[in-house]
Structure 1
């Protein structure tokens, strides 16, 4: 089972994404900030870091750079509602995928399945 660490500062978006990903068969640990995510990255194993870029305390780019240093096998996907930071993310972590908000949950799941070579396509209502 793919394990996802979700870092999203918007409470309703975080809960929504976590529920949807769990229903799609993923194990999800969700946190509100990059600072909260660091101990999980340092002490546990995740297949994917799914992080908002713009967050207080530690932004998603800093978090992704930390994850790349500590857990180089972890895949990274950014979600953002700010087009301007997409370019910054692409330069800072070039191997990461960036999804711009708003996106459909089906698009998110398809991208995750592409990352991990999943043979089945999940259906979200």
Structure 2
């Protein structure tokens, strides 16, 4: 399955998402904020960056921009309660990034992750 970097600042949400993705067979490295995730991106390769948008220190959009500089082939997926922010062209989010709005069901997350990785 996929190697996924999960960036989510909410501890319980991050643990919950990591566990669901691992149960689906994915390898998941998690980070509590964008700068921690950026460090992970510099250490290893990932198939997918799954990131919240609103996080301290470095938001998910900046993280996604930097991630695509490191690996232009990496897929990007935002999980957010602020979908309009992600879809705003002025924020310069990667054009082909997928946005999954909170709240979502775990089976929907797993399905979308698998769809994005396979594309």
What is the TM-score normalised by the length of structure 2?
0.92
Any unmatched runs of 5+ in structure 2? none
Q: Which of 1 and 2 has greater Rg? A: 1
Q: How does 1:1-125 map to 2 (within 5 A)?
A: 1-88=1-88, 91-117=92-118
Measure the CA separation in 2 of the matches of 1:88 and 1:10: 24
Measure the CA separation in 2 of the matches of 1:92 and 1:48: 15
**SS of the residue 2:20 aligns to:** helix
* Structure 1 residue 91 displacement after superposition: 4.8
Measure the CA separation in 2 of the matches of 1:104 and 1:33: 23
Q: Which deviations, in whole Å up to 9, do the C-alpha atoms of 1:28-82 show, x marking residues without a partner?
A: 0001000001111112000000000000100000000000001111100000012
Q: CA RMSD in A?
A: 1.6
Q: Is the contact between residue 34 and residue 63 of structure 2 (CA under 8 Å) also seen in structure 1?
A: yes
Measure the CA separation in 1 of the matches of 2:2 and 2:10: 23
Q: Which moved further from structure 2: 80-89 or 22-31? A: 80-89
How many residue pairs match? The answer is 118
What is the TM-score normalised by the length of structure 1?
0.88
Any unmatched runs of 5+ in structure 1? 119-125
